[in-house]
Structure 1
Amino acid sequence: MTGASGFLGWHLAQSWQLGGEAVGLYYRQQFEGAPWSWERINLLRDQEVRELLDRLAPDAIIHAAAIANTSFCEEHPALSYHVNVYASLTLADYAKSKGIPFLFVSSDMVFNGHSAPYDEESFAYPLLQYGSQKLAVEEALLADYPNAYICRLPLLLGIGPAYSKHFFGRWLAQLADQEGEQLAAFSDEYRTPLSAYEAARYLQQLLALIYYNTEEKLPRIWHFPGPERLSRLELAQKMAHCFGLDAHKILAASLADIQPARPEDLSMQSLYAAQYLNYSPLSLAAQLEEIAAKG
């Protein structure tokens, strides 16, 4: 698994259920207690990536590594494209050559936010570089990589490792700091957020389904939406309530006040997850309670 030391990787480690030997690839940092061994790799070095994969000889690949900071992708389109697109296809090339499953972690950011809710058959047209890069990989995989599957995740919730820069932890810190600035949250940006614990559980179920499937032709694109559509402002208020923090510190903001333009409504729905995986995520309140209990 690439990106094993990241936010999603950390949550996969907490809920790991897959058997066999696992290897987590990382570049900068790693955490203790992972259910896999670690291998350090720079995904920009294509030849080293190929040599490592040849040595490890994996039976399947989960590709979760990415430059996911949308502002960074806007400011550094060439670098982020190399990591998010070229490196992804290097990994996919290996999986194709060996005939092994390749599970690509994508994003709701492949949509422009004008025609929500989006399902797996909806037309993708991103607004930002990050979404464009994810979509470029998706299109290549669908065209030429028959063993590749795409999992589009919504806005993920959770705290993650101590070094994580994920928005959820930052928001909690801001709400807890009585002397700090107010937390500005968009009242006009809508998502279907999902706990990273839930995402990790269902990602593993999806990989197991793909790996052990020998007869049925499975869908190539999968959505794992959260149970509720709500704005970032509403999410911040629910977080404050669940964690016992001061909701008066939350300030409504508007997408109209920022540039570049961001998608207004990226709420998703799924055509396949319930049918194949009995997809039924916990309520948002229960997801927040799990995060509060586990960290």
Structure 2
Amino acid sequence: MKDYIVRAIAADSQIRAFAAVTTETVETARQDHNTSPVATAALGRLLTAGSMMGVMMKGDKDILTLQVKGDGLIQGITVTADSKGRVKGYVGNPEVIIPANAKGKLDVSGAVGNGFLQVIKDMGLKEPYVGQVALQTGEIAEDLTYYFAASEQVPSAVGLGVLMNKDNTVRQAGGFIVQVMPFAEEETIAKLEENVQKIQSVTTLLEQGHTPESLLKQVLDGFDIEINDTIPTEFYCNCSKSRVERALISIGRKELNELIQEGKEVELNCHFCNKNYIFSVEELKEILRKCK
């Protein structure tokens, strides 16, 4: 089954909700970056959140960036997503390995450390929207729950999970974001809070065979649910040799000249998908000719 996101409303539009299965998306990221299990879990959770938050945006060219900047050994996580369900990302230290936490699980919080979460929404305006909050737990889901409440004033419940196989490939990945609208009644909010407290972990539910639709039925038990949209999601990087060439042009004639004088080909790496692009000396000379 391909990865996808569902968008829904419930309780006469008092609640909006998103749920996603992102197993292939997170496995692609793991393969591209050769991440350790704890790095895969951390990146996978943020990729899953990014995919759902991306489709919350309206414009075709809107871009969302999520950055977790902590003092832990993972050295930060960056994810970007668009409104079409396409998402990409990387961690600072993909090889991070730390002991399991007290529950015997991958210690994402320990790998992330203390720091802050930044949300940047570029919606084609003069300035992008930037929201920033201190990390509450470093577990990602709780940090995003806090971000929505503190920075966007939208009470939300966020659940994210990544489960690994014994061979360190991704077994399950997915999550949900459920948000209460400003006109929601107290009764609705209380019922939703009760449901969220009863919910099992996302990975447990995915292991039981739940889909995004049935995940939402669990979280929104007792509410009428209307599924509005089903959106495919994938790990997608739009890098290309021509885009990297534009980056080389931007460094200026002096630096390009210095690279040419060294007489060696230049290799540049895309952070997001880890693909390498090689430019020969002749190609560098051609790029220099294009420089103003």
Q: TM-score range by the shorter chain?
A: under 0.3
Would you tell me which structure has more helix in proportion to its own residues?
1
Would you tell me which structure has more strand in proportion to its own residues?
2
Output the TM-score relative to the length of structure 2: 0.28
Output the TM-score relative to the length of structure 1: 0.28
User: More relative contact order in 1 or in 2 (CA 8 Å, sep 6+)?
Assistant: 2
